Amino acid sequence: MPSSPPLTHRYRELKLFVAAALAMGMAYSIIDSTFNNFLNDRFALGGFERSFLEFPRELPGLLVILASALLWFLCSRRLAAVAMVLGVAGSVLMGFASSSYGMMILWLFIYSLGQHIFLPLSSSIGMELAEEGKAGQRLGQLNAIRNLAAILGSFLVFLSFKYLGFSFQHTFALAAAGFTVAAVLLFSMQKEQTQPPAVHVRIYKEYRLYYLLSILYGSRKQLFLTFAPWVLVTVFHQPTQTIATLLTLGGVIGILFQPILGSAIDRLGERFVLAGESVLLVFVCLGYGFAGFFFSEHTAFLIACGCFLADQMLMSVNMARSTYMKKIALHPSHIQPALTMSVSIDHIFSISVALLCGLIWNTLGFQYVFLLGTLIAFGNFLAALRVNVRAGVPAQDGVSPALAETD
């Protein structure tokens, strides 16, 4: 494996990446804070039209591995800059060229493609900029910065609409400016060596446990993104402000929690952290599904809020999957393609689980959705017990025979 870059050089690259993370985090938060209101005001969508939007919004997650392979001639940092350029284009076009619902869907696809391309790159670049044995700590620090950026972006939207008379076009333009700054900063980072396209699309049997962990993550992710807020809205009849408050509170907690979690991954190892996540997720799912059967409505609501915050923190354990991949990689060139492959894999299962859980909710009741969640958590626990790397073990230096065949 190539030797680590000099400390002064790594510090320069880290400063650029941190600044880019802050700019893009604020930009994503600005879009997330206004998008649903934009849809309602501009298109007055019905339930089916709004739910249909999740398909073009999540489809890039399935296609991201193909996009990375087609852009194989770009190193990860240049590819990250391209992802920000797609964010600029999507933001501007959604804000200023959404003359119809169909056109807006096209622009949303472009925006989401950039967002999904960057997902694995954020982890791979972050780990490249970490000291040996401290990849988890670095990812935790970067996630804390993104949490701070998300809070700043949401607060900026609040001030802009309340006191400055902003329109949706203003906020889309502001987000585009943030993506532009991030693109420039990422492009200013030093270029790395590129990898042949075959590396991007190949599935290696040596990483089958990592792929399994990605499948389980994609399956549990949808419970938090879709059905956990739906419990608060439909079962406990909470207004939008409650979800917004919980998300903001979770973001504040995450600023402190993320670095602690990252350091725990480095000290205690991925197996301990992933197994611990699984155990806690069992209690979270039981709290969502069955608190109302054992406690008063008010107490059950408070338990559900606690589960929501805990679930938000547990989503961050995905860092452990990334550092695990780094430690088991047969060659450093495998890390970023494998992380990208995991995004495509987890989206296949997250979309499938969303459809299955929607059917279960409507036919059996919401409790059975979270019973399924406990089964997923149990499966994740069994998979986590098979993780067999020690804290602080670096990626292997040798090139695998499989890679030698493709290079």
Mapping DSSP to helix (H, G, I), strand (E, B) and coil, where does residue 387 land?
Answer: coil
Classify each residue of 145-173 as buried b or exposed e, where b means 16 or more C-beta atoms within 10 Å of its C-beta.
bbbbbbbbbbebbeebbeeeebebebbbb
In the predicted model, is pLDDT for residue 244 greater than 80?
Answer: no
Give residue limits of the domains in the chain: 1-197, 202-402
Taking the C-alpha atoms of residue 120 and residue 137, their distance in angstroms, rounded to an integer, is 17
pLDDT band at 389 (very low <50, low <70, confident <90, very high): low
Domain 202-402 has CATH 1.10.3720.10: no
Token digits for 131? 């000291």
Q: 272: which residues sit within 8 A by CB, 6+ positions away?
A: none
pLDDT value for 46: 58
Residue that is written with structure tokens 């391209």 in the block: 82
Query: Mind listing the pLDDT tens digit for each residue in 300-323?
Result: 999 999 999 999 899 889 999 999
Of the candidates 87, 82, 78, the one whose C-alpha atom is nearest the C-alpha of residue 125 is 78
d(CA 389, CA 394): 9
Query: Average of pLDDT values for 206-229?
Result: 86
CA neighbor of 135 nearest in space, from 329, 341, 310:
329
pLDDT value at position 279?
95
In the structure, what pLDDT confidence band is assigned to residue 401 with cuts at 50, 70 and 90? very low
DSSP summary character for residue 238 = -
Amino acid at 134: K
Residues 6+ apart with CB under 8 A from 165: none
Q: Residue for token digits 């559900």?
A: 304
Is the pTM above the cut of 0.75?
yes
Asked whether the domain spanning 202-402 has the same topology as the one spanning 1-197, the reply is yes
Average confidence (pLDDT) over 168-183:
94
**pLDDT of 18 over the 60 cut:** yes
At 394 the pLDDT is 43
- Homologous superfamily of the 1-197 domain (CATH): MFS general substrate transporter like domains (1.20.1250.20)
Which residues are CB-contacts of 314 (< 8 A; sequence separation ≥ 6)?
277, 280, 281, 284
75-108, pLDDT tens digit by residue? 889 999 999 999 999 999 999 998 888 899 999 9
Q: Which residue has better confidence, 114 or 354? A: 114
User: Where is average pLDDT lowest: 52-66, 159-173, 284-298?
Assistant: 52-66
